[in-house]
Amino acid sequence: MTIDFFDAAEVEELLDYPGCIDAMRRAMVALSSGERPQPLRQIITVGRNEMFGTMPGELQALSTFGAKLVSVFGDPDHPGRTRHQGVVVAYDGVTGAVNCIADAEPVTKIRTACATAVATDALARTDAEVLAVFGSGVQAEAHLRAVPLVRQFREILIWGRSAERIRDLAQRMSKQLGRPITPVANGREAAAKADVICTVTSSTEPVLLGDWVKPGTHVNLVGSSYLGPVEVDNTLVAKARYVADYRPGVLAQAAELATARKAGIVDDSHVIGEIGEVLAISESHASRLHMQATRRLRARMRHSLDPGADLGGVGDSVSIPGVAVRGDSGWCQALNRLAATVAEER
């Protein structure tokens, strides 16, 4: 059996950002519409307190299954940072044959940023003008490439804990993207100006506080993939509407939600839905997959809304692959219609 292998350089060349955004949009709808639950990522400690993760999955609608195997070790070339090293193995859903193997590091970099772009396109205000990226590493660079593909931002800001790193990143990305990227010394200042915020740090403590974020802001939480480190505080979680990439995964492994839940501030019903469900009900056509996603979101909203609740709160929210802050958002027309229907049924 001959198996195609794509090394890092080939992945960077072939996995373009617009194409990956489109693929992530289709994958999210298929994920939220699937009838078979997906296994959660498994992470074990190896070596000197490093990590090894296995991330299997299947999408029947796209006739594929596979897994990512990845180690997360300290990067000796960049002290204080980590590298995601491994492979992605994709199988043919009909024959069971291995389709290809690809270097996981560039796949992770590009796919993560493109998933954020899809969430932003689905959930952020259409008139969002200012993007703020919190972080200065690989994901910050990828997000600076991906997210502006779905909104016409007037201004792009970056903040990080190292002033030197964000200054260097801003200069380099300004040249590569052909537009100014502005480094900001104060995270509160960046958040106050932003309509869309992406947190892509390796911080174990909050770098973004709820009191900094204005109503109507869309927040993409990327951060950690396991319980423990948090990028935002409980205040932001409490004032937000959570929209997840995959709800069971967020309920089990999203550190920010777990911290707020442990404090008694929110419960599982705080996660109102999935990005794929929002995309599905926003589509003009109603395929079987789209109808399944809509029914699931309808049932969850019926369960979570109190009789007589202000249904404007459902529409007036923005999300993350994780969180959302109540305010005047652009994603909510479809959810408003659905919320109104649920209210009438009650």
pLDDT for the residue numbered 291 = 57
Which pairing describes strands 182-183 and 155-159: parallel, antiparallel, or unpaired? Answer: parallel
Residues 139 and 183 in one domain: yes
> Amino acid identity, residue 302?
R
169 and 255 share a domain?
A: yes
The residue among 65, 84, 109 that closes a domain is 109
Question: Is 297 found in the same domain as 325?
Answer: yes
Which token pair is 93?
Answer: 């859903």
Total structural domains within the chain: 2
Tell me how far apart the alpha carbons of residues 103 and 5 are, in angstroms, rounded to a whole number.
Answer: 8
Residue 253 lies in a domain: yes
> Tens of pLDDT along 227-239?
778 999 999 999 8
Longest Cα–Cα distance of the chain, Å, equals 62
Is residue 120, in this structure, part of any structural domain at all?
no
Domain end position, chosen among 42, 75, 109: 109
Tell me which residue range forms the domain holding 187: 126-345
Does the residue 114 lie in any domain? Answer: no
For residue 288, what pLDDT band results from cuts at 50, 70 and 90? low
Percent of the residues in the chain that have a pLDDT greater than 90, as a whole number: 57
- Tens digit of pLDDT for each residue in 107-120? 999 999 999 999 99
The confidence band for 284, taking pLDDT boundaries of 50, 70 and 90, is very low
Cβ-Cβ contacts under 8 Å for 22 (sequence gap 6 or more)? none
Q: Is residue 332 part of a domain?
A: yes
Q: Do 263 and 139 reside in the same domain of the chain?
A: yes
**Which pLDDT value is given to residue 35?**
67
Residue 315 has pLDDT above 50, yes or no: no
Percentage of the residues of the chain whose pLDDT score is greater than 70? 79
Position 181 confidence tier, pLDDT thresholds 50, 70, 90: very high
Average pLDDT in the 188-206 region? 94
Beta bridge mates, 134: 159, 199
The owner of tokens 């089990």 is: 252
Summarize the confidence of residues 139-159 as an average pLDDT: 97
Identify the band that residue 242 occupies on the pLDDT scale cut at 50, 70 and 90: confident
pLDDT band at 294 (very low <50, low <70, confident <90, very high): low
Residue 117 domain flag: no
pLDDT reported for residue 293 = 52
More confident residue, 283 or 47: 47
Residues 91 and 140 in one domain: no
Domain-located, residue 119: no
Q: Answer yes or no: is 116 within a domain.
A: no
Strands 82-92 and 64-74: antiparallel
Are 260 and 295 contained in the same domain?
yes
Residues 330 and 190 in one domain: yes
Residue 39 shares a structural domain with residue 145 = no
Instruction: Kindly state the average pLDDT of the residues 242-269.
Output: 92
Mean pLDDT computed over 293-307:
49
CATH (domain of 327): 3.40.50.720
Find out whether 136 and 165 touch, Cβ atoms under 8 Å: yes
| CATH code: domain of residue 76 | 3.30.1780.10
Can you tell me the distance from the alpha carbon of 174 to that of 182, in angstroms, rounded to the nearest whole number?
A: 9
Do 224 and 336 belong to one domain? yes
Check whether 185 has a pLDDT greater than 80.
yes
Q: Quick one: 64 and 138 in the same domain?
A: no
Averaged pLDDT for residues 295-315:
39
pTM, rounded to two decimals: 0.83
pLDDT score recorded for residue 308: 26
Specify whether 201 is located in the same domain as 316.
yes
Which of 56-60, 167-171, 249-253 tops mean pLDDT?
A: 167-171
Which residue among 109, 143, 169 closes a domain? 109
264 in a structural domain: yes
Residue 143 and residue 78 share a domain: no
Res 276 pLDDT > 50: yes
How many CB atoms are located within 10 Å of the residue 128 CB? 23
pLDDT exceeds cutoff 50 at 279 = yes
Query: What contacts 77, CB < 8 A, 6 or more positions away?
Result: none
